[in-house]
Amino acid sequence: MGEVFAGRYELVDPIGRGGTGAVWRTWDHRRRRYVAAKVLRQRDAHSLLRFVREQALRIDHPHVLAPTGWAADDDQVLFTMDLVAGGSLVHLVGDYGPLPPWYVCLLLDQLLSGLAAVHAEHVVHRDIKPANILLEATGRGRPRLRLSDFGIALRLGEPRLTDTGLVVGTPGYFAPEQLLGAEPDFAADLFSTGLVALHLLQGARPDAKALVEHFAAQGTPAAPKGVPEALWQVVATLLQPDPSARFRTATGARKALAAAAELLPAPGPDEDPIEIFDQLGPLPPGFGPDGPLRRGPAVTSLPGPVPAPGSLPDPFSGLDPGPGPGTGPTPAPAPAPAPVPHEGPLVPPPARSEVSTVPYTAQDPRAHAPAPRRSRRGAPRRRRPGPPARVALPLLLLALACYAVGFWALARM
């Protein structure tokens, strides 16, 4: 089984990697479901402060993938979010190339809807790109998009964690004003959204620098081949080099997109459907759809009697009990050689008994862990929920130090 954080989150297999950590498919023992967990890779004060900011972001919106919980164990920390299995827009374009305009309208509308919710919380995403836009595995049904990765997002008014003039984000998706050192603003997110829309329409990453130069020298370029003029006008407004010439809000852009979508032709009956399928792959050995598999040793390998009826859960009833005393009112399925008689009751060795029964009788979510060691008095030592005091106190002090560094940097600006 995988590593368990704080007795709750069991790491299953890695599904992605970012600049500050790896993303794992994880089993949540408390909620009894799979989630995605981002495990912090760097543990310096700078990275920890970014982690604190990202995990504190709570935006409840169907097209936003924000953190839902966090945990710390020893020297590692993680936060969790919903598990999205359909891959990103990068996978979609890689599978189908340029997407139909009507389909791009659906995706762009959902992206602008999620972005409006983010901006309503006074948060600038600062890293909108196809790889950070995930898709639910909806098959051939209506797509469902989720805006993710708020690792460098910034709430307006908070101190920046980078030096003034240093640009953060992904090259090729910067707004022109970002390259000039302007403060993060909503308009920069809208420019990146326009680049994402053009990527979907063309099936390839657009040349942002050449596009800005064309705008500056010759004005708005003509619509690319295959892109309806009504849709292009919306995308071109998002791509204006001058922030004041773009839509003022994501909601305003969404309204213009809805008007343009009404002018687009409906998809033809012969048009190939677009399918968004599961990109995560099968679960590794030892895990099933309902969580970790609890497999104990066969009962036939144990000497002595089988535990009394009702002491084992239902999964055990499917195993062959082998010869021995009956496990219930049902008669033995076939005759077996007579057991060797013993004087007195048959009692299995304690160690073998614990191995066979702990996986089935333990009710704690950490049931897969080894049986707790017993103290000299014979009572099991129980660990309190959450991180131990020797871990929680240093983390608290480190977080306070990070906030102090942030306010000190703000005072010097």
| Residue 312 binned pLDDT confidence (cut-offs 50, 70, 90) | very low
pLDDT over threshold 50, residue 338: no
The 8-class DSSP code of residue 28 comes to E
Please report, rounded to a whole number, the percentage of residues in the chain having pLDDT higher than 90: 48
pLDDT over threshold 50, residue 302: no
| Residue labelled with tokens 């909503």 | 186
Question: Taking Cα atoms as reference points, which of 359, 253, 265 lies closest to residue 316?
Answer: 359
pLDDT of residue 317: 43
More confident residue, 280 or 393: 280
pLDDT of residue 253: 98
Binding residue per annotation — 38? yes
Domains of the chain: 4-82 (3.30.200.20), 89-261 (1.10.510.10)
pLDDT of residue 266: 84
- What Cα–Cα distance (Å) separates residue 354 from each residue in 187, 294, 385, 394? 62, 14, 24, 37
| Residue labelled with tokens 């827009």 | 89
What is the length of the chain? 413
pLDDT of residue 397: 72
Q: Which of 144-148, 184-188, 303-307 has the lowest mean pLDDT?
A: 303-307
Query: pLDDT by residue (tens digit) across 145-168?
Result: 999 988 788 888 776 655 555 556
Phi and psi angles of residue 37, each rounded to the nearest 5 degrees, phi first: -125, 130
Please say whether the beta carbons of 16 and 84 come within 8 A: no
pLDDT over threshold 60, residue 174: yes
Please report, rounded to a whole number, the percentage of residues in the chain having pLDDT higher than 70: 67
Q: Is residue 239 helix, strand or coil?
A: coil
Query: pLDDT by residue (tens digit) across 368-380?
Result: 444 444 444 444 4
Query: pLDDT by residue (tens digit) across 91-119?
Result: 999 999 999 999 999 999 999 999 999 99
Please say whether the beta carbons of 6 and 72 come within 8 A: yes
Query: pLDDT by residue (tens digit) across 401-412?
Result: 776 777 666 766
Query: Which amino acid, 203?
Result: G
Question: Taking Cα atoms as reference points, which of 348, 362, 349 lies closest to residue 313?
Answer: 362
Q: What is the mean pLDDT of residues 120-146?
A: 95
- Residue 289 has which token pair? 């759809």
- What Cα–Cα distance (Å) separates residue 151 from each residue in 48, 53, 111? 11, 8, 18
Please say whether the beta carbons of 274 and 99 come within 8 A: yes
Phi and psi angles of residue 40, each rounded to the nearest 5 degrees, phi first: -65, 130
Measure the CA–CA gap between 389 and 268, rounded to whole angstroms.
Answer: 63
List alpha helices for 203-249, DSSP H: 208-218, 229-238
Can you state the angle between helices 186-202 and 250-261, rounded to 10 degrees?
30
More confident residue, 318 or 235: 235
Kind of pairing, strands 9-17 and 33-40? unpaired
More confident residue, 129 or 312: 129
Q: What is the mean pLDDT of residues 81-100?
A: 96
- Residue 199 has which token pair? 């990527």
- Residue 411 has which token pair? 């005072």
Q: Is 45 exposed, middle or buried (0-12, 13-18, 19+ CB in 10 A)?
A: middle
- Residue 288 has which token pair? 């099933």
Q: What is the mean pLDDT of residues 347-373?
A: 41
Q: Which residues are catalytic?
A: 127
pLDDT over threshold 90, residue 358: no
Highest mean predicted confidence (pLDDT) among 72-81, 226-235, 261-270, 306-315: 226-235
Q: Element (H or E) spanning 113, and its range?
A: helix 101-120
Q: Computed over its alpha carbons, how large is the radius of gyration of the chain?
A: 28
pLDDT of residue 3: 87
More confident residue, 312 or 196: 196
Highest mean predicted confidence (pLDDT) among 10-24, 75-89, 230-244, 284-298: 230-244
| Residue 58 binned pLDDT confidence (cut-offs 50, 70, 90) | confident
Measure the CA–CA gap between 291 and 178, rounded to whole angstroms.
Answer: 45
pLDDT over threshold 70, residue 281: yes
- Residue 327 has which token pair? 């496990």
pLDDT of residue 90: 96
pLDDT of residue 148: 92
pLDDT of residue 56: 64
Going 139 to 140 to 144 to 146, the CA torsion angle's sign is: positive
Q: Element (H or E) spanning 119, and its range?
A: helix 101-120
pLDDT over threshold 80, residue 20: no
Measure the CA–CA gap between 176 and 94, rounded to whole angstroms.
Answer: 27
Measure the CA–CA gap between 27 and 35, rounded to whole angstroms.
Answer: 6
Average pLDDT, the chain: 78
Those residues with Cβ within 8 angstroms of residue 40's Cβ, 6 or more apart along the chain or in another chain: 20, 21, 47, 48, 51, 76, 77, 78
Q: What is the mean pLDDT of residues 276-286?
A: 93
